[in-house]
């Protein structure tokens, strides 16, 4: 197993369009955007690797553009218009050997062939929350969303999905159980897919079996699950919800192995390292956190939305950009407290005396009213 010090960087994107590479070993952050021209329409929706060697990062923005960032050159090398803001936000981005794959909330899944203006368009259904690629079969992707069950697509035969999940049976009141797929992942070395839902369920599907309903279902917490990722050991899954709760679930028994603490807002992005027992998360509190999956301790805390772990990233010396020191846990909070005006003891005493005088006056008034009655 590789040493933890070999983890080079985590790539994160923000609501203002900033792409930031955070070096965990050197505790430095590198900004790769023009700070003077940032806007909310450049908000980063999704991040993905542009090649197998992780030398390119794909950045999907709210305005429908997909930018390619070279980790070797430290610059953006290409910008493509892959949609309109009216079609909804990007819910997934991936690449094959000869094409770029994008998916938006309205369910429009597109395959942009390299060197050609023709695109393959697939209607994945409305309200798509996530699109994920099968890492072992890159021509396959999975989609799912609100009242839009899990589907697996073969991009070489895009007419119909090769797998469509079936909703679970009615509940004990014989009422239909609502569907809401928020995230999914292909389990390596198998045909199985794990999903998490907006109704705090974790489900495992097996397209190789004749059963289209989940072969395993587990529950965590009481709030909608927003993201999941598979650790390197492959027999568990890490999930996060809208209240900043993180848990490690056993995929064999459907039980909670343990919880990760420290988050103060809903989880937006969650990614396990491909070989090390580490998981990176970011959310509404705009902090990137890296936890150890062995002892569940917090390893790093850095101030940002979406993220992608890098293991083969170029060293920071080979990258040029705006460098800033990474503040570890409590760093930014300490800065806020340091800039606040100090209140001396005399002012505190004066305020306390005034409060006591008001309380005493009220008590005397109440006593007089009682005597009159």
Q: How far apart are CA 205 and CA 163, in angstroms?
A: 10
Q: 3-class SS at 175? A: coil
pLDDT reported for residue 28: 75
Q: Is the dihedral of CA 254, 257, 263, 268 positive or negative?
A: negative
- The string of DSSP letters for 287-322 reads -EEEEETTT--EEEEE---EEEEESSPPPGGG--SE
pLDDT reported for residue 348: 47
Instruction: Name 48's bridge partners.
Output: 58
Tokens (6 digits) for 227: 């993201």
Instruction: Name 108's bridge partners.
Output: 123
Tokens (6 digits) for 49: 């690797």
Measured from the Cβ of residue 237, the count of other Cβ atoms closer than 10 Å reads: 25
pLDDT tens, 131-175?
A: 999 999 999 999 999 999 999 999 999 999 999 999 999 999 999
Residue 23 Cα distances to 16, 170, 261, 270, angstroms: 21, 49, 22, 18
pLDDT reported for residue 100: 95
Extended strands (E) in 82-231: 90-95, 99-104, 108-113, 119-123, 128-133, 140-145, 148-154, 163-164, 181-186, 193-197, 201-205, 216-219, 225-229
Residues of the chain with pLDDT > 70: what percent? 79
Q: 3-class SS at 345? A: helix
pLDDT tens, 23-65?
A: 877 777 788 876 667 777 888 999 999 988 889 999 999 999 9
Tokens (6 digits) for 157: 């035969």
Tell me which residue has tokens 């999907």. Answer: 60
Q: How far apart are CA 134 and CA 359, in angstroms?
A: 68
Pick from 23, 76, 4: which is nearest to 276 by CA? Answer: 4
The mean-pLDDT minimum among 98-102, 142-146, 315-319, 357-361 falls in 315-319
Please, what's the largest Cα pairwise distance for the chain? 94
pLDDT reported for residue 65: 93
Q: How far apart are CA 166 and CA 215, in angstroms?
A: 11
pLDDT reported for residue 368: 52
Q: What is the dihedral of CA 274, 275, 278, 281, to 10 degrees?
A: -10
Tell me which residue has tokens 């806020």. Answer: 336
Q: How far apart are CA 270 and CA 306, in angstroms?
A: 8
Tell me which residue has tokens 């994920």. Answer: 132
Over its C-alpha atoms, the chain yields an Rg (Å, rounded) of 25
Helices (H) and strands (E) counted in the chain, each on its own, are 2, 29
pLDDT band with cut points at 50, 70 and 90 for residue 353:
low
Pick from 34, 3, 7: which is nearest to 308 by CA? Answer: 7
pLDDT band with cut points at 50, 70 and 90 for residue 16:
confident
Instruction: Name 309's bridge partners.
Output: 10
Residue 74 Cα distances to 31, 71, 215, angstroms: 10, 5, 45
* The model's pTM: 0.81
pLDDT band with cut points at 50, 70 and 90 for residue 297:
very high
> Between 216 and 28, where is the model more confident?
216
- The string of DSSP letters for 61-115 reads ETTSEEEEEETTTTEEEEEEE---GGG--EEEEEE-SSEEEEEETT-EEEEEETT
pLDDT band with cut points at 50, 70 and 90 for residue 342:
low
């Amino acid at each position: 197993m590789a040493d933890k010090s070999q983890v080079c960087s985590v790539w994160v994107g923000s609501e203002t369009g900033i792409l930031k590479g955070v070096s965990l070993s050197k505790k430095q952050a590198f900004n790769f955007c023009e700070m003077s021209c940032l806007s909310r329409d450049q908000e980063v929706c999704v991040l993905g690797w542009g090649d197998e060697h992780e030398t390119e990062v794909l950045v999907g923005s709210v305005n429908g553009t997909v930018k390619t960032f070279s980790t070797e050159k430290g610059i953006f090398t290409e910008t493509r218009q892959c949609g309109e803001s009216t079609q909804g936000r990007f819910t997934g981005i991936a690449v094959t050997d000869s094409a770029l794959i994008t998916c938006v909330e309205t369910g429009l899944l597109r395959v942009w062939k390299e060197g050609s203006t023709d695109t393959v368009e697939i209607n994945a259904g409305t309200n798509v929350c996530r699109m994920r690629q099968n890492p072992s079969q890159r021509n396959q992707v999975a989609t799912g969303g609100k009242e839009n069950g899990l589907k697996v697509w073969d991009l070489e035969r895009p007419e119909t999905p090769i797998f469509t999940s079936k909703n679970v049976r009615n509940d004990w009141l014989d009422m239909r159980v609502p569907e809401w797929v928020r995230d999914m992942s292909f389990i390596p070395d198998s045909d199985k897919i794990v999903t998490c839902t907006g109704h705090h369920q974790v489900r495992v599907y097996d397209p190789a079996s004749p059963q289209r309903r989940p072969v395993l279902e587990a529950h965590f917490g009481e709030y909608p699950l927003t993201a999941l990722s598979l650790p390197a050991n492959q027999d568990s899954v890490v999930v996060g919800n809208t209240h900043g709760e993180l848990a490690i679930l056993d995929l064999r028994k459907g039980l909670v192995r343990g919880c990760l603490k420290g988050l103060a807002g809903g989880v937006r992005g969650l990614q396990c390292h491909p070989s090390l027992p580490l998981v990176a998360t970011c959310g509404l509190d705009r902090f990137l956190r890296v936890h150890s999956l062995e002892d569940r301790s917090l390893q790093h805390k850095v101030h940002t939305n979406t993220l992608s772990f890098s293991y083969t990233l170029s060293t920071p010396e080979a990258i040029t950009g705006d460098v800033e020191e990474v503040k570890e846990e409590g760093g930014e909070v300490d800065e806020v407290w340091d800039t606040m005006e100090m209140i001396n003891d005399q002012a505190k005493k004066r305020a306390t005396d005034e409060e006591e005088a008001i309380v005493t006056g009220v008590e005397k008034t109440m006593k007089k009213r009682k005597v009159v009655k």
